[in-house]
Structure 1
Amino acid sequence: MTTLKPGDSFPSDVVFSYIPYTEESGDITSCGIPVNYNASKEWADKKVVLFSVPGAFTPTCSVSHLPGYIKNLPQLKAKGVDVVAVLAFNDPFVMSAWGKANKITDDSILFLSDPDAKFSKSIGWADPASGRTGRYALVIDHGKVTYADIETERGSLKKSGAETVLASL
């Protein structure tokens, strides 16, 4: 269990669960089919912002954290970010519904599931009490971590919010 830090390589075996957005399953009550998303492979030659939340549809996550990234998406893209992804321990169906509830009708932000907080635990950033993913942010540039920080105050976005990550680019 090693915390990722700037200069580290992104692990080579990271696979999340994901439901790609499709128009035919675009309604919030429609379910798509979960697929494995091999982040290590997909992100090897891209600039990626990955932010993690304790849970979809929870207060800080829904009112502040995700909306900050939605609002700043054009600025992130202007800084060369290819992929913006949000991660939570929720299952892929909940993550897909959270994306639809926030009117993300494409893959401009990926809603990824970290079942059992496996990835977050592997980097030491899962909440020890609840077992959920922690609130953190990573920037991965062509396989190298260039920014990595976790919130230590409940409900804080000082280290993982969109504005902080944008300033780090």
Structure 2
Amino acid sequence: MSLKSGDSFPDNVVFKYIPWSEESDEITSCGIPIDYNASKNWADKKVVLFSVPGAFTPTCSVNHVPGYIQNLPNLREKGVDIVAVLAFNDPFVMSAWGKANRVRGDEILFLSDPEAKFSKSIGWADEASGRTGRYAIVIDHGKVRYAQIETEKGAVKKSGADAVLASL
């Protein structure tokens, strides 16, 4: 079942996450993974969730994440409370990727979808690799307002910050 505009965001969506702290700002600092209950935390927020096949990969690191970092002020102007990136990588890798991109605090949440469970549940995991697909979802107070998956390998057209901004 893929998500579409007008759907409710699923209940019981839990990711893994390592919260940023000043003490663990170094890329070699591990931190402690915790559960991040997206369904609960996002119920009364406007959220942009974008998913990538893998941290530290060329398209994801060069074309996808930087667009969201650069457009954070524009997303905030459109009322977005939370921006989160999701990948199948473990929470340690996702935390390091956030630090490598100089993302501090909760500017962008770097979330882990272990075994691509969430992506598989909405039909947006890559069947061949088992990784999360490349997609973007806008959730506004529990309702999906935008949901698009890239169908072209390496493309960042429907899931990039510009496409999401245009939908807001």
- TM class, shorter-length: over 0.9
Does residue 127 of structure 2 align to residue 128 of structure 1?
yes
**1:52 to partner: Cα distance:** 0.0
Alignment-derived partner of residue 104 in structure 2: 105
Aligned runs of 1:1-169 on 2, under 5 Å? Answer: 2-169=1-168
Q: Which deviations, in whole Å up to 9, do the C-alpha atoms of 1:7-60 show, x marking residues without a partner?
A: 000001100000000011110000100000000000000000000000000000
Q: What is the one-letter code of the residue matched to 2:51?
A: S
Runs of 4+ in 1 over 3 A off after TM superposition: none
Q: What is the one-letter code of the residue matched to 1:105?
A: R
Separation of aligned partners in 2, 1:84 and 1:168: 15
Indicate the SS of the match to 1:64: helix
Indicate the SS of the match to 2:71: helix
- Percent identical pairs in the alignment equals 79
Indicate the SS of the match to 2:162: helix
Show structure 1 runs of 5+ residues with no match.
none
Show structure 2 runs of 5+ residues with no match.
none
Separation of aligned partners in 1, 2:144 and 2:136: 11
Q: What is the one-letter code of the residue matched to 1:101?
A: A
Q: What is the one-letter code of the residue matched to 1:168?
A: S
Separation of aligned partners in 2, 1:19 and 1:154: 29
Alignment coverage as a number of residue pairs: 168
Query: CA-atom RMSD, angstroms?
Result: 0.3
**1:105 to partner: Cα distance:** 1.5
Q: What is the one-letter code of the residue matched to 2:123?
A: G
